[in-house]
Amino acid sequence: MDGATVVFLVIGGAGVAVLALSLLGAELFQLGHLDLPDLFSIETLAGFLGAFGFTAAITNELVGAGATQAVVAAVAVGVVAALPAGFLTVRLSRAARNMHTDATPTRADLVGTTGVVVTPITATGYGEVRVRLGGQPIKLYAKADRPLSAGTEIFVVEAASETSVVVEPVHPLS
């Protein structure tokens, strides 16, 4: 392995490292508050350098390391391979930044959920219920207008606070 190949591998490795850091949220390499298009983002530059470095290193070794013509060919092939990689990096990083996420659930979202009593609810105090909100089980303090035993299926009629609810049994006793 000659010196040019090592330089190309270092460029590729540095590009991949910067790309990984920037996609994981590290803002070490941000260009301030410049309003540059995505084409000039750190992710794009890092993706381009990663593809360029590794492709040029492979080409340099295959063509014949050490010759000036091999280095020129390696640079040319590296640039040709890096252009689509940079384009794909722009598209993927834009998609990741603009990804739609659900709103954070609030206590109003608790009203209307069903669940089960896990700690009996007394006539004068609180018990505990488990409901599912956004697919996740949540344990809350609960009170009801009458005592409810553990295992009773409940319906949330009011969210008194972020951690407590007022419930009624799903199957009321007559």
For residues 38 and 114, give the distance between their C-alpha atoms in angstroms, rounded to a whole number: 46
* Confidence label for 132 from pLDDT (cuts 50, 70 and 90): very high
pLDDT at position 114: 93
Q: Taking a C-beta distance cutoff of 8 angstroms, is the pair 157, 111 a contact?
A: yes
Can you tell me whether residue 100 is helix, strand or coil?
coil
Residue extents of the structural domains in the chain: 3-97, 107-169
Its CATH class, for the domain covering 107-169, is mainly beta
| pLDDT at residue 136 greater than cutoff 80 | yes
> CA distances (Å), 66 to each of 4, 57, 78, in order?
7, 12, 17
The tokens for 113 are: 């959920």
| 48 CB-near residues (< 8 Å, 6+ apart) | 15, 82, 83, 85, 86, 89
Instruction: Compute, in degrees rounded to 10, the torsion defined by CA atoms 75, 77, 79, 81.
Output: -150
Which of the two residues, 32 and 110, has the higher pLDDT score?
110
pLDDT at position 67: 78
Buried b (16+ CB within 10 A) or exposed e, 113-147: bebebeeebeeeebbebebebeeeebebbbbbeee
The tokens for 167 are: 């419930």
Question: Among the listed ranges 25-29, 60-64, 143-147, 149-153, which one has the minimum average pLDDT value?
Answer: 25-29
Average pLDDT, the chain: 85
Q: Taking a C-beta distance cutoff of 8 angstroms, is the pair 14, 54 a contact?
A: no
Q: State the CB neighbour count (10 A cutoff) for residue 169.
A: 17
pLDDT digits (tens, 9 = 90+) for 20-66: 887 676 555 555 555 555 566 778 888 889 999 999 999 988 887 66
| pLDDT at residue 99 greater than cutoff 90 | no
pLDDT at position 65: 67
Find the mean pLDDT for residues 5-16. 90
Which of the two residues, 99 and 80, has the higher pLDDT score?
80
* Confidence label for 106 from pLDDT (cuts 50, 70 and 90): confident
